[in-house]
Amino acid sequence: MSEAWLDEIKWTDDGLVPVIAQEAGSGRVLMFAWMNRESLALTVREGRAVYWSRSRGKLWRKGEESGNVQRVKEMRLDCDNDVILLTIEQVGGIACHTGRHSCFYKIFDNGQWRSVDPVLLDPQQIYSKPS
């Protein structure tokens, strides 16, 4: 498959595009991340979300450590060609590194942010590697 479709995207000056991961079925927004050309092309090829980690400066296959993979069901580009929406199946039910279903677990309530979604699994259990 030609990758000319990548040229239609308006990349940021540092070669990234913002990506929203939305759960198929519920429609709930689970997370926000970034992709570069390589990670977006890999996402299409592999059928699973591959992001660009700005903090680590490398490709990040969602679930590579936790097992909580995001299987891509549909991919859309917004009207300005500068934001991607992934409709995904969240394997394992946990999208957030805090062990919650969604990264958007805080609600603004009476002048403060309050956590409203439970931790489904302790992050140390998700990310600790056996010695």
d(CA 69, CA 128): 17
Whether residue 40 has pLDDT greater than 90 = yes
- Least Cα distance to 90 among 31, 17, 36 occurs for 31
Q: Tell me the whole-structure pTM to 2 decimals.
A: 0.90
DSSP reduced 3-state for 18: strand
Higher-pLDDT residue of 57 and 128 is 57
**Could you tell me the domains of the chain?**
4-127 (3.10.20.810)
Confidence of residue 1 (pLDDT cuts 50, 70, 90): low
Phi then psi for residue 115, to 5 deg, are -75, 130
Whether residue 130 has pLDDT greater than 80 = no
Instruction: Tell me what the pLDDT averaged over the chain comes to.
Output: 94
- Residue-level pLDDT at 120: 94
d(CA 73, CA 67): 18
d(CA 25, CA 17): 25
d(CA 113, CA 103): 14
Parallel, antiparallel or unpaired: strands 50-53 and 58-61: antiparallel
Average pLDDT over every residue of 10-15: 97
- Residue-level pLDDT at 131: 44
Q: Are 43 and 35 in contact (CB under 8 A)?
A: yes
- Residue-level pLDDT at 127: 75
